[in-house]
Structure formats: structure tokens, C-alpha cells
Amino acid sequence: MLEDVHLTLTAGSGPVNILNGVSLTVGQGETLAVVGPSGSGKTTMLMLMAGLERPSSGAVRMAGKDLTAMGEDELARFRRENLGIVFQAFHLIPTMTALENASLPLEFAHHPEARRLALEALEQVGLGHRAGHYPSQLSG
């Protein structure tokens, strides 16, 4: 998934190395816990793995595709069709229920079973009984 990934950002005092030569392989169906102290690069690594951040060098691969070689439109389509991302901060539309929020990417993709699949996903994470609740009614 990650192959010799480096990420360097420029700060006021000059370049800051965020990730240095990180390589990681996660098999399909495997569960991964990313743990470490605050500021150690956990969120940055996950953002790279989801194609929401681009590395300075190295490769990010998923489902046989090189995310680092994709343009923005292709990457957005790939994420929509292949990834589910749960952010620490909700990033949910407040006027839509949990089910409506969860089914939205599938609705955009015109998936015929969007609501059923979204409900299954909510059930898998223990939120099936909260499908009709709005974000303000869900615990943070």
C-alpha cells in the first residue's frame, strides 16, 4: 500500500520531514490499528493512504492502482467507488440522517442499492439503530 513514502512540508523555518521512507502493506480484509503519540504522523499517513494527501516521493497503491499517478478527477472517482472514510470530526451534512449521509457517495455513483448497502455499513459499525438520527443526535 505505501512504498518508501516521504512527505516533506515547508514551514516558516524551512522544510519539515513528516514521513521518511514509510512502507506498509495491509491485506484485503485485514484490520489495522494506527497508534502513536499526538503529532507522530498517524493522520497524515491515513490521509496519504486515502489519496487525500500526496507524498513528496514514493508510491501509494490500493486495489492494484497507483494513487500517486492519478489525476484529481480519477482519484475522486476511485475514492468514491473503493473507499469508505470515517473522519475524527464528523464531516457529515447536518440536515441529513446518518443513513442519508452514508448512502450519499453511492447515490452520486447511481448505485441501485445505495440505501441498502449504506444501512449494512451502519449496522457493521454498530450504528444501524441510529440510521434515522441526524449528526447532532450522534455522539462525537
Q: What is the pLDDT of residues 58-77, one digit of tens each?
A: 999 999 999 999 999 999 98
Residue 88 has pLDDT above 70, yes or no: no
Q: Note whether residue 133 is domain-resident.
A: yes
Within this chain, do residues 132 and 74 fall inside the same structural domain, yes or no? no
Residues of the domain holding 131: 98-137
Picking from 51, 82, 113, the residue at the C-terminal end of a domain is: 82
What is the pTM (predicted TM-score) of this model?
A: 0.68
**Inter-residue contact 87 to 26 (CB < 8 Å):** no
Within this chain, do residues 10 and 76 fall inside the same structural domain, yes or no? yes
Within this chain, do residues 78 and 9 fall inside the same structural domain, yes or no? yes
Number of domains in the chain: 2
Q: Note whether residue 42 is domain-resident.
A: yes
> Would you call 69 exposed, middle or buried from its count of C-beta atoms within 10 A (0-12, 13-18, 19+)?
exposed
* Cα–Cα distance for residue pair 77/73, rounded to 1 Å: 6
Within this chain, do residues 72 and 22 fall inside the same structural domain, yes or no? yes
Within this chain, do residues 73 and 127 fall inside the same structural domain, yes or no? no
120 confidence band (pLDDT: 50, 70, 90): very high
Within this chain, do residues 65 and 104 fall inside the same structural domain, yes or no? no
- Percentage of the chain exceeding pLDDT 90: 57
The C-alpha cell at 107 is 447515490
140 confidence band (pLDDT: 50, 70, 90): low
